Amino acid sequence: MASAAPASSKTNRKVLKFDSEEDVAAALAEYTADLSQKFIKQKGYFSVVLSGGTLIETLRKLVELPYRDSVDWSKWLIFWVDERVVPLDHDDSNYKLAKLGFFSKVPIPSSNIYAINDKKSPEGAAHDYEERLEHLVKSKILPLSDASGFPKFDLMLLGMGPDGHVASLFPNRPQRYEKKRWVTFITDSPKPPPPRITFTFPVINSASEIAMVVTGAELANTVKIALGGNAQDPDSTPLPVTEVSAEGELTWFLDQDAASKL
């Protein structure tokens, strides 16, 4: 069963709390399937940006009945908000994680899945990915946000680390402050593996909808800070997750453990 905190009109934020991770997975499947139908009806496709880690596992119910057969998978376009710069068949690859799980169960055309070029350096991979996004914009497949001028994806699916990082935008790394590039790179990620590419905050925050999916007691303190229930030291740098917003709505999906300190 879910409970919802009041939505904030300032940030277009909704906080949903569920009894268990299983309930989070079920709610996330319904939410994503509904958005898929909405955007495909509106414009003929659904652009989805994934992060890695536990999020792929939490999407598991989306590829089960009834959602599996209610979604037009041929109209999905898949991107990564961040990716480890390793071979695509490496165990650290978010692409491999999704391919073995999510993608193996639904008929998304391979041409609609935008993996990184794993033959390039982190800088080269970031530049290549940005060029591919630019091509999709020029081809009128991806729109630009009227508000920001950055690419506007339909749904951004995010997780959060104990240090408050999202994507590969970490608290003490300069990439979180990038305001011009669409995609940037990092070679010294504090979380292994060190080399990664990542969308920048202007791209993340231009999304129509953002789902922030957080489960587990080890994230409870960070959730409390992120949602304003526990003020940070005024001299400390704000957590990256506090910079996340959406042009439509930012929806937090929390299990009981993650929400235990709210």
Q: Express each pLDDT in 18-75 by its tens digit.
A: 999 999 999 999 999 999 999 999 999 999 999 988 899 999 999 999 999 999 999 9
Predicted model pTM: 0.93
Question: Which residues contact residue 36 at a Cβ distance below 8 angstroms, ignoring those fewer than 6 apart?
Answer: 46, 71, 72, 75, 76
Phi-psi region of 149 (alpha: psi -120 to 50; beta: other; left: phi over 0): left
| Residues facing residue 210 across a β-bridge | 156, 250
Structure token digits, residue 193: 């593996």
For residue 165, is pLDDT > 80? yes
Grade residue 7 by pLDDT with cuts at 50, 70 and 90.
very low
pLDDT of residue 228: 80
pLDDT value of position 102: 85
What would the mean pLDDT of 163-178 be, rounded to a whole number? 96
The pLDDT assigned to 9 comes to 42
Percent of the chain with pLDDT over 90: 88
pLDDT of residue 10: 45
Burial class (CB in 10 A: 0-12, 13-18, 19+), 73: middle
Sheet of 196-199, strands arranged across: 82-84, 196-199, 183-186
Q: Calculate mean pLDDT across residues 168-181.
A: 96
pLDDT of residue 230: 55
What is the pLDDT of the chain when averaged over all its residues?
93
Q: What is the DSSP letter of 210?
A: E
What order of strands is seen across the sheet that includes strand 2-8? 2-8, 13-18, 249-255, 209-214, 155-158, 46-50, 76-80
- Long-range CB contacts (< 8 A, 24+ apart) of 136-145? 141/45, 141/77, 142/47, 145/206, 145/247
Phi, psi of 126 (to 5 degrees): -65, -45
DSSP 3-state of 167: coil
Work out the number of other CB atoms within 10 angstroms of the CB of residue 196.
28
Please state, in angstroms and rounded to a whole number, the distance separating the CA atoms of residues 129 and 150. Answer: 14
Q: What is the domain partition of the chain in residue ranges?
A: 21-255
Contact 20, 62 (CB under 8 A): no
63-72, 148-157, 165-174, 226-235: least confidently modelled range: 226-235
User: Exposed e or buried b for every residue in 131-159, given b needs 16+ CB within 10 A?
Assistant: ebbeebbeeeebbebeeeebbbbbbbbbb
Q: Do the Cβ atoms of 40 and 32 come closer than 8 Å? A: no
Out of 3.40.50.720, 3.30.1960.10, 3.40.50.1360, 1.50.10.10, select the CATH number for domain 21-255: 3.40.50.1360
